[in-house]
Chains A and B, each alone.
Chain A
């Protein structure tokens, strides 16, 4: 699959720079949304029209650098978005 090869090359490129902290995961189509008072709604979090497709963890000097690396993500070619966030180190 073309998408697979692009993903692999993109992540491989990050790994080659020794900046892949965690490969992460791809999320499937099954979903539940849990709210207060044990309310459970079927389906992924529906308040936005976009569904969370997956995540990875990378290393970078700054959020700007991380954002540059994110620009290579193949999801962008399919109309998707990449959200870049800093991680709070666990003590």
Chain B
């Protein structure tokens, strides 16, 4: 079993289009989707949901306001799943609700450190 990170991205324009009712429905979809992964014993880490505040620190310690501002796509959050291969992790990613509101999911393999922590 390997671990893969699922990184969720969207842009603020798409998100602004979501009505409060849609948001409620969306939240439920997220819970169902993550619950489904957990039920298969494949949710390695619940990860984090990122807020709207941000800074970008660049070389020479330059700090700019806002999330990483080079693009309009912003990282919204991430989770870590267990899967046999990146293809399996990609299948899991296809169920992510962010895809229904214009967002993307990036699937990446995780470099294992040689020991497990606990």
A joins B in a complex: yes
Q: Which of B47-94 contact A (CB under 8 A)?
A: 48-61, 63, 67-68, 70-71, 73, 75, 78, 80, 86-87, 89-90, 93-94
Contacts of A79 in B (CB 8 A): 59
What's the interface size class on B, roughly?
35 or more
Are B53 and A34 interface neighbours, CB within 8 A? Answer: no
A28 in contact with B59 (CB, 8 Å): no
Number of A residues with CB within 8 Å of any CB on chain B: 42
Per DSSP, chain B at the interface is: strand
Q: Cβ of B3 and Cβ of A25 under 8 Å apart?
A: yes
Taking beta carbons and an 8 Å cutoff, which residues of A are in contact with B?
Answer: 23, 25-36, 38, 40, 44-45, 47-48, 50, 52, 55, 57, 63, 66-67, 70-71, 73, 76-77, 79-88, 90
Residues on B facing A (Cβ under 8 Å): 3, 5, 7, 9, 46, 48-61, 63, 67-68, 70-71, 73, 75, 78, 80, 86-87, 89-90, 93-94, 96, 99-100, 102, 104-111, 113, 117
